[in-house]
Amino acid sequence: MNKINIGLLGYGIVGSGVIKMLGSRRAYFREKYGVVFEVKAICDLRFKDKRPLIPGMKTRLTTDASEIIQAEDIDVVVELIGGLHPAKEFVEAALDQGKHVITANKALIAHFGQALFERAQKNQRSIYFETSVLAGVPVIRPISEGLAGNTFNAIYGIVNGTCNFILSEMTRNHLSFADALQLAQKNGFAEADPTLDISGGDSAHKLAVLTALAFGKFLPVKQIYTEGITDISYDDIDHAESLGLVIKLLTIAKKSGGDLEARVHPTLIPKDHPLALINGVYNAVYLDADPLGKVLISGEGAGQMAAASGVVSDLVNLATRSADRPLLCNLFDDDNTLKYRTIDAIESKFYIRFMAMDQPGVLSKITGILGRHQIGINSVAQKAHNKAQAVPVIMLTDYTTEKSLRVALTQIRQLSVIKSKPVAIRMEKLQ
């Protein structure tokens, strides 16, 4: 019988879910995997005010992380405090003390993964982080181990449940962005301060992790072009539907002409594509692998027990593998031959919405500026409207560079007949 002694840093929603799952499935783990998990100690600053009773476990409670990191009776440190600091320092110290680490911290892996993996190898230990991208839905091990014989051409992901819920509700129930966000908060799918989610920042962290795994390229998070969903209106969703398209916040990493693209932004995709069917708080990663082909991994990517399930799967993986065999997902060599293509150089088709005064010559002014920047127009649409107000004008462009479009939109915004910032949404031809 294998016994794994655990030290837990962070007893919040996910941490308490891990304890709940370990407690309720002790017999299952013992009988199926021949392993006993013992939570020796838990650290949380909130224990200063309230010390919870954890039934069925003889567990030390502390507010000092060093008591866990330095404890001789602990084999693995589970980091669930989140953020960059002091999480980074705690993980470094745990590795230096000869302990394995399990973390759900996507920001930590995105910003410091390369250095932490190198440190882990130096100490002959491993970092497990299955929960960092899709919570309990497995994607780290499928990419690094299950598809180990494949190379990757592209990864497309819907990796933020908050944004996907908001866009789904806007689509299904004709809600405004503000109303859909309020509903997400009411249902516990969005934080009181949802900025990291709706700005695309959370998705960018996850994309950095996926890019390192699939392409061997450790990109600084700040280098990844990131755009959120705050400018999307129901009008855009309605127009998209009439074109047979849906809007999703996509993470995109793909090889293009020998370069690597990595970006996060709202994207128009065909309604019949598998990713278009991922709704609510569900997440998905769509892989284009060689030679296997297209692979879709999907499931509920948020929630206490979903995240706890991912952490516990890492514990089982640790308990059932050879201790001296490093994880494939802990490789830290960077592919210096793969160059990053900046957003300015990327070519896309675009959906553009202008709010313009209903006056003669407006379209010619707009198309004139677009034409001077070599931006072709594939179609123009304008719905019924009240002439007393600014009206939406919808244009679909041909392929153009991001830089050309942005310069043109800046000039168009300065026209007196344009009454608000134009909205531009990229149209992605999914592989």
The strand pairing partners of 268, in sequence order, are: 247, 427
CB of 376 closer than 8 Å to CB of 367: no
Residue type, 252: I
Q: What H or E segment, with its residue span, contains residue 33?
A: helix 26-33
- 32 noted as active-site residue: no
User: Quick one: tokens of 431?
Assistant: 């592989």
For the chain, the distance separating the N- and C-terminal CA atoms, rounded to the nearest angstrom, is: 47
Q: Would you give the distance in Å from CA 144 to the centre of its chain?
A: 17
Give the other-Cβ count within 10 Å of 342's Cβ.
14
Phi then psi for residue 55, to 5 deg, are -65, 145
User: Quick one: tokens of 170?
Assistant: 């806007």
Q: Which of 106, 206, 248, 254 is catalytic?
A: 206
Query: Alpha-carbon distance 166 to 159, whole Å?
Result: 13
3-class SS of residue 396: strand
Which residue stretches of 142-230 are H helix?
Answer: 161-173, 177-186, 195-198, 201-215
Query: CA gyration radius for the chain?
Result: 24
The strand pairing partners of 6, in sequence order, are: 39, 76
List, by residue number, the catalytic residues.
206
